[in-house]
Amino acid sequence: MQKTLYINSNGRLRRKENTLYFETETEKRAVDIENIEQIHIFGEVDLNTRALNYISQYGIVLHFYNYYGFYAGSFMPRKKNVSGDVVVRQALHYLDRDKRMFLAYCFVESAVYHMMRNLRERKEAEAFLNAIEDEWENGRFNISSIPELMGLEGRVRNIYYSSFNQFLPEDFYMERREKRPPTNPINALISFGNSLIYSTILTEIYHTQLDPSISFLHEPGEKRFSLSLDISEIFKPLIVDSVIFKLLNNRQITLEHFDEDLNYCYLNQEGRKIFIKELQNKLETTVRHRQLNRNVSYKGYIRLECYKLIKHFIGDSVYSPLKAWW
Amino acid sequence: MEYIQEYSELKFQGIKINYLYVCKRKLWLFSKNITFENWSDRVLLGKILHEYSYPKEETKEVLIDNLIRIDILSDGAVREVKHSSKMKEADIMQVMYYLYYLKQKGIQKQGIINYPKERRKEVLDLTPEYEEKVKQALKEIEEITKKPVPPPATKQRICKSCAYFEFCWG
Ligand code: SF4
């Protein structure tokens, strides 16, 4: 029901009476506005305040990406779900050193868990898996500050990324992880996937009472919506990385899906389409939730993670981060 | 603008009375504005019922006393529309609260709960016993919503169809 719209072509979003249309030079398509939760805009799209106001009425979040597919920013309509009470308590958990540390640790713990989960079934990565385990087990009880925790996470992540070379096609060799700007295909893929998951999480946060700018692992203000970065830690390995592995190992994405420009390497339009489709599949894939006894999609698990944080803040139940059991 | 505020406060309190009888946790969460938009069919259904149940009714939301507005008012009665009679007591108390509120304003009304799906209606009068119950309920609401933490979730039959289901049990 809650759909995501990805706009890859150039055109215009226009409101005409009570319908929103996406028009390109050759076609005009009505947008199913009542069932859409977010729109990711990759193409060059014109829209005016009339369209924007209409989109706002439905609480739809817009995410914008530049020519290279790098995340540019989001438009979030005025929030309906505001609870002063929740925000105040969320802030208290930031201000209290131990409380902040607890949450920051939870995010990293889940991230490491999911990284190890990704490597567990790959024989080629066994040595790396062991190295991560050593690093993590030796390090995790000796952390007394957020920077130390970040450092440990960084070391684990480096081992994790360097294991990719063992099981991904040679074309996608990774010297090291580089963020901005990515200069080779694998880094471009990771960056693209990470920014999509970041904005998807931001949309989920938007629908709850959480304040996206109060974070715990990342310093608030590091990026405007740093809570989304915190929660991304959990879902990057769980969702993005598994999509990348699948696309590369099945040769669905190859070097021809990348373009280079000065210092950048980025996915071209065709590559983005393939990636988005696979990511969307993943987000919609459901897994039986043991307590709810219902099927919950990966996207649903993001929402549940937000709920768990709210429950933690209001003193209802202690946060325990997702550790995929399936 | 004052009457608008009073109106929403009235509605707000009415819902809280309802929730007091449905689930105290739900009441607490609602009182802290922890609510979730609903994409579920059930809620949509509720909306549609509200909008289309009484198309011929001239007055859907009427301003009483130039001060307060209540859901549907005609034939001199306060009316609530519910999609099932499962939560009867909660619904009755909600209407009783409206009647009680109006009485404070010097207006005497009858209440009607309509269950269009079941083609039934219930006509209610504010008796002294109910008046006492409403006062009691208002006190209880205050006590519950003042608590720093929500009452723990307890599994009930209604959880499955509650908007908080995933929040409480996920
Ligand atoms: S899910 Fe159950 S416990 Fe939670 S608020 Fe609803 S009725 Fe109450």
- pLDDT tens for A243-274 read 999 999 999 999 999 998 878 899 999 999 99
Per-residue burial over A113-122, b = 16 or more CB atoms within 10 Å of its CB, e = otherwise:
bbbbbbbeee
A21 pLDDT above the threshold of 70: yes
Cα(A70)–Cα(A263) distance, integer angstroms: 14
Q: Tell me the residue ranges of DSSP E strands in B23-154.
A: 62-64, 68-70, 72-74, 77-81, 110-115, 120-124
pTM for this prediction: 0.90
The CA angle A217-A218-A220, to the nearest 5 degrees, is 120
A181 prior amide bond cis, ω within 30: yes
- Token readout for A179 is 């963020």
Which residues does ligand 1 sit against, CB inside 6 Å? B 23, 25-26, 153-154, 156, 158-159, 162, 164-165, 168
Mode of pairing for the β-strands spanning B72-74 and B77-81 = antiparallel
> How many CB atoms sit inside 10 A of residue A231's CB?
28
B163 in A contact zone (CB under 8 Å): no
Report the Cα B153 to chain-centroid distance in Å. 21
Annotated binding site of A: 153, 218, 233
- Nearest-by-CA chain A residue for B146: A85
Q: Which residue has the higher pLDDT, B105 or A32?
A: A32
As a CATH number, domain B5-169 is 3.90.320
Chain B 65-104, CB below 8 Å of chain A: which residues? none
Residues of A with CB under 8 A from a CB of B: 1-2, 59, 80-86, 207-209, 289, 291-292, 296, 300, 303-304, 307-308, 310-311, 314-316
How many alpha carbons fall within 13 Å on the CB side of residue A262? 2
Q: Do B120 and B108 contact (CB within 8 A), yes or no?
A: no
Report which protein residue has its CA nearest ligand 1's atom 7: B159
The answer to whether B124 and B99 have CB atoms below 8 angstroms apart is: yes
Best mutation site among A294, A307, A318, A325 for testing chain B: the one with the most B CBs within 10 Å?
Answer: A307
- Element spanning B125, H or E: none
pLDDT at residue A178 is higher than 80: no
Phi, psi angle pair for B71, to nearest 5°: -25, -80
Decide if A296 and B170 are in contact by the 8 Å CB cutoff: yes
Do residues B141 and B110 lie in contact, with contact meaning Cβ atoms separated by under 8 Å? Answer: no
Query: What is the b/e burial string over A140-176, where b = at least 16 CB atoms within 10 angstroms of the residue's CB?
Result: beebeebeebbebbeebbebbbbbbbebbeeebebee
Which of A83-97, A140-154, B100-114, B117-131 bottoms out in mean pLDDT, i.e. has the lowest?
B100-114
Chain A hits for B149, CB-CB cut-off 8 Å, are 314-316
CA-closest candidate to residue B140, choices B65, B56, B28 = B28
ipTM over 0.95? The verdict is no
Nearest CA in chain B to A210: B34
**Residue A273, burial from CB neighbour count under 10 angstroms (0-12, 13-18, 19+):** middle
Tokens read off for A156? 């684990």
Q: Answer whether residue B71 shows pLDDT above 70.
A: no
Give residue B46's pLDDT band: very low, low, confident or very high (50, 70, 90): very low
Q: Angle, nearest 10°, between helix axes B2-22 and B128-146?
A: 90
How large is the average pLDDT for residues B22-50?
Answer: 73
Which of these ranges, A93-97, A191-195, A235-239, B38-42, has the smallest mean pLDDT? B38-42
CA distance A316 to chain B (A): 6
- Quick check: B64 and B70 in contact, CB under 8 A? yes
- A62-114 tens-digit pLDDT: 999 998 899 999 999 998 889 999 999 999 999 999 999 999 999 999 999 99
pLDDT at residue A141 is higher than 70: yes
Report whether pLDDT(B68) > 70: no
3-state secondary structure of A295: strand
- Per-residue pLDDT, averaged over B138-165, amounts to 94
> In the 3-class helix/strand/coil scheme, how is A19-84 assigned residue by residue?
EEEEECCCCEEEECHHHEEEEEECCCEEECHHHHHHHHHCCCEEEEECCCCCEEEEECCCCCCCCH
Q: What is chain A's length?
A: 326
In 3-state terms, chain A is what percent helix, strand and coil (to 5)?
A: 55, 15, 30
Rg (CA), chain B: 16
State whether residue A283 is helix, strand or coil.
helix
Q: Does B149 touch chain A (CB under 8 A)?
A: yes
Alpha-carbon span A211 to A207, nearest angstrom: 10
Calpha distance A21→A25 (Å, rounded): 13
How far apart are the C-alpha atoms of A209 and A83, rounded to whole Å? Answer: 6
Decide if pLDDT at B61 tops 90: no
Task: Tell me the mean pLDDT in the region A120-145.
Answer: 94
Which tokens sit at B87?
């939560």
pLDDT at B58: 45
CB-based contact, B150 to chain A, within 8 Å: yes
For residue B98, pLDDT beyond 90? no
A119 versus B104: the higher-pLDDT residue is: A119
pLDDT (0 to 100) of residue A171: 87
The answer to whether A22 and A29 have CB atoms below 8 angstroms apart is: yes
Instruction: Catalogue the long-range contacts made by B107-110 (C-beta closer than 8 Å, 24 or more residues apart).
Output: B107/B64, B107/B65, B109/B76, B109/B77, B109/B78, B110/B76, B110/B77, B110/B78
